[in-house]
């Protein structure tokens, strides 16, 4: 497993170099389902790069990836879950605040996850048998912090609509932060910078954080308290397990 984990760290950094080397050139932007659901040639090319490297080294392994509807079930065999650019809108508009994400499962069991904040050159990785680190520095397990000394990460619309009581919960904290990227937001939760992250996201958006978070005392649940399905877009919360009961007083 160690070789595979090292391989994953190499290819995610390579993919980051690839994006950086291309991002100042012409970028072709397409709408997927609606005007704010965008994909670029670099999302697709980065995914192709990752898949070709994985298939080259591990031809028997399978892929579940965002672009081109590549959807091998996560609980069958060895599966790499890929989000080639998380925060595509940030990437297009800001040229910043986006991540590459990889998660690796064997028979449905998460073995390791990686979130690479490309422009900050910060690689969060670990989970399973590996300690969770940022650029090699171990992250501590969740340490208790009261709501009134915390910030909350959330999807902007869900906050504005007070969806399931998210705004009520936010009012107990020092405020909300909206970063426009699930990966960067969930990495901040694991770094102790956010109390939690609330959003409406897909398996490739949460798989890496799910694996790493488990190791550090965080849980990923739907807003009605069920495990995520690794199959569809769901409204989720990524929070410290120790805060679940307290959070449930506000999240209905
Ligand atoms: C999106 C981002 C965004 C979240 C969306 C995701 P993408 O991923 O993580 O923050 O609100 O739901 O789909 O499309 O940029 O990979
Ligand atoms: Ca994403
Ligand atoms: Ca993406």
170 lies in the same domain as 226: yes
Residue 87 CB–ligand 1 contact under 6 Å? yes
- What pLDDT does residue 131 have? 98
Q: Nearest ligand to the C-alpha of residue 207?
A: 2
Q: Give yes or no: residues 201 and 118 share one domain.
A: no
Same domain, 29 and 129: yes
Residue 160 belongs to a domain with what CATH number?
3.40.190.80
Same domain? For 41 and 134 the reply is: yes
Q: Is the CB of 201 under 6 A from ligand 1?
A: yes
Question: Does 99 lie in the same domain as 188?
Answer: no
Domain final residue pick, 117, 138, 159: 138
Q: Rounded to two decimals, what is the model's pTM?
A: 0.97
Q: Are residues 83 and 100 in the same domain?
A: yes
- Decide: 155 in ligand 1 pocket, CB within 6 A: yes
Q: What percent of the chain has pLDDT over 70?
A: 100
Q: Are residues 191 and 233 in the same domain?
A: yes
Residue 137 has pLDDT above 90, yes or no: yes
Residues 65 and 17 in one domain: yes
Please write the tens of the pLDDT for every residue from 142-192.
999 999 999 999 999 999 999 999 999 999 999 999 999 999 999 999 999
Q: Which of 96, 57, 88, 92 is nearest to 80 (CA)?
A: 57
118 and 39 assigned to the same domain: yes
State the residue range of the domain holding 34: 2-138
Q: How confident is the model at residue 1 (pLDDT cuts 50, 70, 90)?
A: confident
Picking from 42, 122, 126, 112, the residue whose alpha carbon sits closest to that of residue 81 is: 112
pLDDT tens string 68-98: 999 999 999 999 999 999 999 999 999 999 9
Residue 85 annotated as binding site: yes
109 and 76 co-located in one domain: yes
- The verdict on 111 and 165 lying in the same domain is no
46 dihedral zone (left: phi>0; alpha: psi -120 to 50; beta):
alpha
**Residue 2 confidence (pLDDT) above 80:** no
Question: How far does residue 179's CA lie from ligand 3's centre (Å)?
Answer: 15
3-state helix, strand, coil in the chain (%, to 5): 40, 30, 35
Q: How many domains does the chain have?
A: 2
Residue 157 has a pLDDT of 96
Mutate to test the pocket of ligand 1, among 86, 188, 209 (most ligand atoms within 8 A of CB): 86
Dihedrals phi, psi of 109, to nearest 5 degrees: -100, 125
Quick one: which ligand is closest to 87's CA? 1
Nearest to 218 by CA among 195, 202, 235, 200: 195
Given 138, 173, 195, the domain boundary residue is: 138
Asked if residue 219 has its Cβ within 6 Å of ligand 1, the reply is no
Report the nearest-CA residue for atom 16 of ligand 1: 86
Together in a domain, 130 and 163: no
Residue 44's CATH number: 3.30.540.10
Tell me how long the chain is.
252
In the predicted model, what is the mean pLDDT of the chain? 97
In the numeric block, which tokens belong to residue 228? 């995520």
């Amino acid at each position: 497993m160690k070789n595979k984990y090292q391989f994953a760290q190499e290819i995610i950094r390579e993919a980051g170099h690839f994006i950086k080397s291309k991002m100042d050139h012409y970028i072709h932007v397409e709408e997927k389902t609606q005007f704010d659901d965008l994909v670029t040639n670099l999302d697709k090319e980065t995914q192709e790069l990752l898949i070709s490297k994985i298939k080259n080294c591990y031809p028997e392994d399978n892929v579940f990836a965002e672009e081109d509807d590549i959807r091998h079930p996560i609980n069958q065999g060895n599966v790499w879950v890929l989000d080639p650019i998380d925060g595509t809108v940030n990437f297009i508009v800001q040229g910043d605040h986006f991540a590459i994400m990889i998660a690796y499962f064997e028979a449905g069991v998460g073995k390791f996850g990686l979130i690479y904040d490309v422009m900050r050159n910060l690689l969060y990785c670990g989970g399973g048998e590996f300690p969770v680190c940022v650029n090699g520095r171990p992250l501590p397990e969740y340490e208790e912090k009261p709501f009134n000394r915390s910030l909350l990460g959330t999807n902007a619309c869900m906050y504005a609509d007070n969806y399931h009581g998210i705004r009520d919960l936010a009012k107990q904290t020092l405020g909300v932060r909206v970063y426009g990227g699930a990966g960067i937001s969930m990495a901040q939760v694991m770094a102790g910078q956010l109390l939690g992250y609330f959003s409406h996201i897909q398996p490739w958006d949460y798989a890496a954080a799910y694996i790493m978070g488990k190791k550090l005392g965080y849980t990923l649940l739907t807003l009605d308290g069920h495990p995520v399905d690794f199959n569809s877009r769901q409204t989720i919360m990524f929070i410290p397990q120790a805060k679940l009961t307290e959070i449930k007083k506000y999240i209905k």
